[in-house]
Amino acid sequence: MDPVLSFEGGTLTLNELPVEKLPPGAGRFLKTDPRTGNLRGRACDYAPLVIALQQAGVRFQDHARAFAPIEDLSLKTPLELRPHQKTALQAWRKALYRGVAALPTGSGKTILAVMATAHLKRPTLYLVPTLDLLQQWASVLEHFFQRPIGMLGGGSHDICDLTVSTYDSAVLNMEFIGNRFAFLVADECHHLPGPETRLAAAMSIAPFRLGLSATPELPDDRAAVLADLIGPVVCQIHIDELEGKVLSRYETRRIPLELDPDEAQSYTYHRKIYTDFLRAHQLNFKYQTEWGRFLGLCARRPEGRMVFQSFLEQRRIARGGRSKQRAVWQLAIRHAGERILIFTADNAAAYDLGRKFCWPVLTHRTRIAERKEFLDLFRNGTYPILVTSKVLNEGVDVPAVGVGIILSGSASVREHVQRLGRLLRPAPGKASAILYELISAGTGEENVSERRREHRAYRHH
């Protein structure tokens, strides 16, 4: 009896083949499972394992694969790729249908995935990080293919040949459905290398894989995980290369603002407590491990609670001083009649701004129905201003937005580029976009601003 290759609980198993008869090319993908005596390996290694077995002349039965070509899958709505999309698609095909396409926000990454799906004609699972993107992708796919689109996440559990899932829902379900899709598309794929999120790709046997991201840069260890599970970056096109062509023209303005006298005094007091503690314990946040060490010291040292409270207070003052709120109001008046998106670093600052000026606020706490209502009213102009923390860094599709105001944010280059990307989708009557960055002068925000602007999209703006 021929050995049987099976999909089992998010892994591959090969029965009835002694390990000593395993070809060398396949040996690196399978190990003996002491619990069952079978050979077991990662589901994501399905394609290279099958190729290795076939090249070695090993006869086996493939019971792992539960997908087949979709012969009637075709575009029902005409679609013509732009030059940069053609470049990305050709690069991906040349890389044997595995790899990451790094394209700016608003440049048509979703359309690229649609064309790749139409070309492959295989069952496809699309992974997205948010519920907003779940709905957005499902709508786009239904429009172009005019067939039922499955959804996993947000209370939905429908599996179809073309299915969109949040990363979280995919992790929970992949051990059951990981053999049903031949093509895996990971949107905002920089999320994929997370310790849990990576399981969504590791437990899938999909031979064809496409990652999409405007900001694929990752630490070396996570970049290696992404390359292993999706493939290398096969094409990278930057914002400035498409500015004024595919994307709107834009400018960025940094506005330094002095703290009010009482805020400045309080900031100086708490900042000194915090920085004296850092110096005393030789803490340097250039190293990733130092934040954990700082928290540990705060938990153990007698003065730790006071130090941590001072850290939070000096950060709160720098991020949300009263001069920033006044500046936001002045900018809102200057751009009256335009669509304005205001970004904050945390929910508290977003809600505080919303209460002060009676503006709608959208955070991760906003319920799904309310979130949809807010975004629809923002898109149609009923709400000209929307305040958000981090939840709209990715996924919102509002081409009419031409003004962004960063009240506060982290030092993350990715976050800063994503926020800029929210403004760059072209729209009728939209000549250009502008992103304001409000900085509390004389505070740690100045260094934070310098670090998060280390991207070529900001070098000449």
Tell me the domain boundaries of the chain: 4-62, 83-237, 249-259+321-458, 261-319
Tokens of 323: 């001069």
User: What residues does 293 pair with on adjacent strands?
Assistant: none
- Summarised one tens digit per residue, pLDDT across range 432-448 is 889 999 999 999 888 87
- Segment among 108-117, 252-261, 392-401 with least mean pLDDT: 392-401
Confidence of residue 123 (pLDDT cuts 50, 70, 90): very high
Tokens of 346: 């945390």
- Same topology for domains 83-237 and 249-259+321-458, yes or no? yes
Q: 249-259+321-458: what fold?
A: Rossmann fold (3.40.50)
Rg of the chain, C-alpha, whole Å: 25
For range 97-120, the mean pLDDT: 94
For range 253-277, the mean pLDDT: 95
Residue 212 falls in which region: left (phi positive, over 0), alpha (psi -120 to 50) or beta = beta
> In this predicted structure, what is the pLDDT of residue 87?
96
For range 142-164, the mean pLDDT: 95
CA-wise closest residue to 60 among 16, 25, 107, 109: 16
User: What residues does 235 pair with on adjacent strands?
Assistant: 101
Write down the pTM of the prediction: 0.87
> In this predicted structure, what is the pLDDT of residue 460?
55
For range 329-338, the mean pLDDT: 95
CA-wise closest residue to 304 among 314, 293, 315: 293
Cα–Cα distance for residue pair 188/199, rounded to 1 Å? 16
The SS3 assignment for 250 reads strand
- Segment among 182-196, 322-336, 361-375 with least mean pLDDT: 361-375
> In this predicted structure, what is the pLDDT of residue 455?
67
More confident residue, 402 or 95: 95
Confidence of residue 375 (pLDDT cuts 50, 70, 90): confident
CA-wise closest residue to 129 among 214, 196, 192: 192
Q: 83-237: what fold?
A: Rossmann fold (3.40.50)
Confidence of residue 365 (pLDDT cuts 50, 70, 90): confident
Contacts 24+ apart (CB under 8 A), 6-10: 6/63, 6/64, 7/43, 7/63, 7/64, 7/65, 7/66, 7/178, 7/179, 7/205, 8/40, 9/175, 10/43, 10/174, 10/175, 10/178, 10/199, 10/202, 10/203
Query: First CA to last CA across the chain, in angstroms?
Result: 68
CA–centroid distance for 411 within its chain: 17
Q: What are the phi and psi torsion angles at 50 (to 5°)?
A: -60, -45
Is a pLDDT exceeding 80 seen at residue 1? no
> In this predicted structure, what is the pLDDT of residue 91?
97
The SS3 assignment for 66 reads coil
Confidence of residue 458 (pLDDT cuts 50, 70, 90): low
Contacts of 129 (CB under 8 A, 6+ apart): 166, 167, 187, 188, 191, 394, 395
Any idea what the Cα angle at residue 359 is, between residues 433 and 105, rounded to 5°?
30
Is a pLDDT exceeding 90 seen at residue 286? no
- Segment among 46-50, 234-238, 355-359, 394-398 with least mean pLDDT: 394-398
Cα–Cα distance for residue pair 409/292, rounded to 1 Å? 20
The SS3 assignment for 146 reads coil
Contact 249, 425 (CB under 8 A): no
Tokens of 85: 């999309």
Tokens of 101: 């396409």
Is a pLDDT exceeding 70 seen at residue 67? yes
Contact 94, 50 (CB under 8 A): no
Tell whether domain 4-62 is in CATH 3.40.1170.30. yes
> In this predicted structure, what is the pLDDT of residue 284?
87
> In this predicted structure, what is the pLDDT of residue 328?
96
More confident residue, 296 or 452: 296
Tokens 């720098």 -> residue = 318
- Summarised one tens digit per residue, pLDDT across range 384-419 is 999 998 777 666 677 778 899 999 887 677 777 888
Residue 9 falls in which region: left (phi positive, over 0), alpha (psi -120 to 50) or beta = left
Cα–Cα distance for residue pair 242/434, rounded to 1 Å? 16
